[in-house]
A and B are shown apart, each in its own frame.
Chain A
Amino acid sequence: MISFELSEEQQIVRSTMAEFGKTVLAPQARRLDTDSCIDDGVLAELWSTEIIQAQAEAVEEEAGSRSPVTNAIILEELGAADATLALAMASTMGFVQAIADQGSAEQRARLLGGFAGETFQAAAVAMMEPRFGFDVSRFQTKADKAGDDYIVRGVKAMVPLASRCSHFLVVAEADGAADAFIVPLDAAGVTVVEPKGALGLRALEMAEVAFDSVRVPSSMRLGEGNGADVQRIIDSARVGISSILAGLSRGVMEYVIPYTKERIVHGAPLAQKQAIAFNIADMHIDVEAMRWLNWRAAWALEARQPATRTAQLAYTYAGQQAMRIADDGLQAFGGHGFVKAHPLELWYRNARSLSVLEGAAGV
């Protein structure tokens, strides 16, 4: 039965995250971008939301209590404040979700406790690879069977908070199919390459991680027996990214509205020119459309319905339209959009960055 009704819990989470984002996260966004690093204080504040802990603990309670729809709502709110910090959460959430969702009982018991503690603990799905033309349908990272173990060889790219991660979920080709392996940061042969800096999401210190013949026991193959459903991880990541993009887009719109009402051009506020007002209307239309696509894909994940198509469409639409919204938002500010006194140039960089990432988030 078609419904857009949020549960009472979802309404509370939504307004709490909106307030947290506005008052705590958004004011730090510029500083973090400049520093190209997230300090411990901000990480502690993120951790205090207990979003990650809830994912980890939910497994112990009841299987159905983790909600991709709720997570999509949370990521939109965080994304509206700062996409970088939203992805800091979503990246770890993607890892925890994959373990909670697909891990064997033994893997859940061994790993999830590490995300229930008092301090921020990062982990990431290591999906992308450092080459032009990379695609999630073709991995050069290989996992070859060697007795009871797997030997993982390859390099992963754009791993958020890589040096802070306790574990990576490395997506690699094993026996001709994509599979996923849980690899601790401190395993022999794992090297986090010094971050090279990036266009956007700079504070995430996205880095390459090299896996040089890393020996991984079969017990660390996600799900053990049958191997991992990598597509489900990709689907969940796409919805995570698109939820943050919806938030980013909304943030742009909400910043553009007061400015264009105040800025007088040729005798009238900018917002009274159709060229500007129509862009603002289109921003609103697209933010709504993105949100319903995200909810629908998240609902499909939650209801264990086929989600690959809806997740792809949510991701495709959000990536395309968020870039346009960030672009139009910057344009509305003219020269002020180009300089760092306003966040438009930051959002412009982040919109392009986020929308090309694969596997780096989860709902």
Chain B
Amino acid sequence: MVDFSLTEADQRLQAVAHRENEIGRKYAREWDRNSENEPSRIRGIHPDVAGLESPHAALEREQEQTSGLVIAEALMDMVSATDVNLRDTGEDAFGSWMLNDYGTEEQKAKYGHVKLAIAITEPGAGSDPANMRTNARYDPATDEYVLNGEKVFISFFNKFDGAVTLMKGEPDGAGKTPFMTVVVTKDLPGVTEIPQFKKLGIRSHELSGFHLQDVRVPAIARLDADFGKTMSKFNHNRPLVAAHALAGARSMLDFTHARLAEAGLKVDYAKGRSARSANEDRLIRMEALWEAAWGTVMRAKWLEHQMGSESHGYRVEASVAKALGGKVVRQITQGCLEILGPEGLSEEYLAEKWFRDVRIADIYEGAGEIQRILIARALLGYKNELN
């Protein structure tokens, strides 16, 4: 049966996520201003939430009573803006997850104790990994790989010990260079970390990178995780990127509704277009964008719940959710700031921050254009004919 009701557990979990966001709200401005320069301030579990069950733990505990684990996760993500992460516990070490999933026992023994980021993007190769220049050359004399190249926009690299790094191997007989995945740790000679990027938004999301110059790693550093495996988390993550940004847009809309209500405008969904002011009409259209994107996130997550996260059966729907979510959060936050007018620009409020924060959603984890290529290929029966 088609059903859009939330279970009691879904609603409880949304409340837990919302509470955590509200607690963090008072640090939002300070962290926005400072965390790129002083990341040490955001380490560990913040005292304000030290005694509280984390949203993540609550989800684990309640998952049986939800609409589905991955559905509830997305519902929690969409509830309101998460301006700060009050629990820096290292769960964002995605490279370590990969080591755990694809590493041998020997590799886990060697690298299991270090925290690893995941490094894919390069200055000249973001959406187009075939352009990747970072490379590995095998040296049979020492049974080592020699690495050269540069990686940028690497989440949390500054705080971790290294990164699971995607690169090109040596050309095979046919001249093709295979992708390979290598564990790079910061202590190796020739690894140079670059400073944190200064960004438009999501400033408490730490982002840096590194250069590799004739870095020698033992052969054991190479993981049996090819590019496809590296990408396998995308189907799960893409709707969540949309969900996370939709949360920012939700807070922006709620803020805009509240401020306009103070100024005497309350949105009435009953009447028709001819009886609305321009601002009321725009707000309704932006609410429609938000709910449209919500539906596509739920659809992708419901399919994921049916098929299992590793399935590729919901990849088009994951791209749909990502593409629409990334688009609407731009339109909504731009539109709300226009409606709010000059007062909305002030750093006294978070509206200007949400406007900046959500912009990345249409870029990372596959830009909107990449999602559209993937969707169009599926619809048209194309592969590389469409680029």
Contact = CB atoms under 8 A, between A and B. Distances in A.
A23 B78 CA distance: 42
Interface string A337-358: 0000000000000000000001
A289 B386 contact: no
A280 B380 contact: yes
B270 A312 contact: yes
Contacts of A299: 2-4
B293 interface: yes
B28 to A, nearest CB: 28
Interface in A1-34: 1-7, 10
Interface stretch (B33-41, B49-57, B127-135, B367-375): B367-375
Contacts of A314: 288
A295 B4 CA distance: 9
B372 A317 contact: no
A314 B287 CA distance: 10
Interface string A267-290: 001011010011011101110111
B291 interface: yes
Interface string A238-274: 0000000000000001000100010000000101101
Nearest to B3: A3
Given A299-B4, A313-B284, A281 B270 contact: no
A3 B372 contact: no
Contacts of B320: 284-285, 288-289
B291 A277 contact: no
A107 to B, nearest CB: 25
Contacts of B271: 135-137
A303 B1 CA distance: 12
Interface in B261-298: 268-275, 284-285, 287-289, 291-293, 295-296, 298
Contact of A135 (B274, B296, B317, B369): B274
A348 to B, nearest CB: 20
B6 interface: yes
B324 A280 contact: no
Given A135-B275, A281-B323, A2 B4 contact: yes
Interface size class of B (residues with CB under 8 A): 35 or more
B385 interface: yes
Contact of A313 (B67, B269, B379, B386): B269
Contact of A289 (B10, B292, B372): B292
Contacts, number: 155
A353 to B, nearest CB: 15
Interface in B6-25: 6-7, 10
Interface in A281-338: 281-282, 284-286, 288-290, 292-293, 295-296, 298-300, 303, 305, 308-310, 312-314, 316-317, 320
A231 to B, nearest CB: 6
B1 to A, nearest CB: 6
A9 B287 CA distance: 33
A304 B250 CA distance: 25
B220 to A, nearest CB: 43
Interface of A: 1-7, 10, 69, 133-138, 231, 234, 253, 257, 261, 269, 271-272, 274, 277-278, 280-282, 284-286, 288-290, 292-293, 295-296, 298-300, 303, 305, 308-310, 312-314, 316-317, 320, 358
Closest 10 CB pairs of A and B: A292-B295, A137-B271, A289-B292, A2-B67, A135-B274, A281-B372, A277-B376, A317-B288, A135-B275, A281-B375
18 contacts: A1-B6, A2-B67, A2-B68, A3-B302, A4-B303, A269-B385, A280-B380, A281-B372, A284-B379, A288-B320, A289-B296, A293-B292, A293-B295, A296-B291, A312-B269, A316-B285, A316-B288, A358-B272
Interface of B: 1-7, 10, 67-68, 71, 75, 268-275, 284-285, 287-289, 291-293, 295-296, 298-299, 302-303, 317, 320, 323-324, 369, 371-373, 375-376, 379-382, 385-386
Given A4-B303, A277-B373, A320-B288, 17 more contacts: A3-B2, A134-B274, A135-B272, A135-B273, A136-B271, A137-B270, A138-B275, A272-B382, A282-B372, A284-B379, A288-B299, A293-B288, A293-B291, A296-B4, A298-B2, A299-B4, A312-B284
